[in-house]
Amino acid sequence: MEISEGLARKLVTVAYLMLKDNEPYRYARPELMAQKFIDLRVKYLPKEWPVPSAPLRGSAKQGLSAVYHLAGLPPVLTPEQLPAGERYMLAERQLTPFVEELHAPPQR
């Protein structure tokens, strides 16, 4: 698979800004991230340490911010906290509801 120069530049820019601002990726699905953190703990924690997977799995139901908090990551920006240009881009592409869903607990 070949990556275009423009796409490669965008990916490097996103990675650089995340590292520079100490901010986790804000568009990940909470369930997927919770499972990835559980898998990392199982793989890399010593066998005698308990693996607290239940709180992480449950946090996915509370949104992305809850998953990142339990994983010990810095807080992620909520949709309301995003820069105006990013909010405009999301609205223009009709992605605002998707991003809000990632950060909000499901409605009952």
Which pLDDT score is estimated for 60?
82
Q: What is the mean pLDDT of residues 14-29?
A: 89
Please tell me the distance from the alpha carbon of residue 105 to that of residue 49, in angstroms, as a whole number. 30
Q: Are the C-beta atoms of 69 and 24 separated by less than 8 Å?
A: no
Q: Name the percent of the chain lying above pLDDT 70.
A: 89
Q: Looking at the predicted structure, is the pLDDT value of residue 52 above 80?
A: no
Q: Are the C-beta atoms of 63 and 104 separated by less than 8 Å?
A: yes
Which value, in Å, is the radius of gyration of the alpha carbons in the chain? 16
Q: Looking at the predicted structure, is the pLDDT value of residue 1 above 80?
A: no
The model's pTM: 0.74
Which pLDDT score is estimated for 61?
85
Element (DSSP H or E) covering residue 31: helix 30-44
- Cβ within 8 Å of residue 3, ≥6 positions away: 11
